[in-house]
Structure 1
Amino acid sequence: MSSIDIRRRHSRSQKEARAAVERIAKHIAEKFDVEYGWNGSVLDFSRAGVDGHIALEKDEIHVYARLGLFLGMLKGPIEAEIHRYLDEEFA
């Protein structure tokens, strides 16, 4: 089983960072057909073959995903897409 583990520092307020993470989640949900929901300051997401979270901390975003066998073969493109969304929202 493959995993993606990305940490990115940010300097936004919690409100701004949460809105940015929400936009990222919507993009990911549309592109990869995942379901997601907030649990406090953690956005949990899942679908067949992947589950994970985006944890929103005071000055850091932590993205973690466990990929099943099929999606594990696509780890590189999926990880690149997540980095692209993070760059767009937090650069």
Structure 2
Amino acid sequence: MAGIDITHPHSLPPEKARSAVEAVAKKLSERFDMKYGWDGDKLNFSRSGVDGAIALLPGNLRVTAKLGFLLSAMQGPIEAEIRRVLAEKF
């Protein structure tokens, strides 16, 4: 199983960072039929072929995901899109 592990710095206060992560998750949910929910400061998300989380850390976000067989072939473009969205929002 292919994996994604991205750490992205941010300087937002915790509540604004949480709101931004929520907005990203909502967009992913609408676009890719992804389910998500908060567990403390970690937003877990999943859909067929993907299980992952976005952890809010002091000064950083950490995005981790396990990609199933079909999506593992698209790991590069998926990772690039995640980095683009993080740079845009944070």
- TM-score, normalization by structure 2: 0.94
Percent identity, aligned pairs only?
52
Could you tell me which residue of structure 2 aligns to residue 89 of structure 1?
89
Could you tell me which residue of structure 1 aligns to residue 41 of structure 2?
41
1:56 maps onto 2:69 in alignment: no
Q: What is the one-letter code of the residue matched to 2:42?
A: V
Structure 1 residue 34: deviation in Å?
1.1
2:6 and 2:87 map into 1 onto residues whose CA distance is 12
1:12 alignment partner, SS class: coil
Could you tell me which residue of structure 1 aligns to residue 66 of structure 2?
66
2:25 and 2:81 map into 1 onto residues whose CA distance is 12
- TM-score, normalization by structure 1: 0.93
RMSD of the alignment, in Å?
0.9
Could you tell me which residue of structure 2 aligns to residue 24 of structure 1?
24
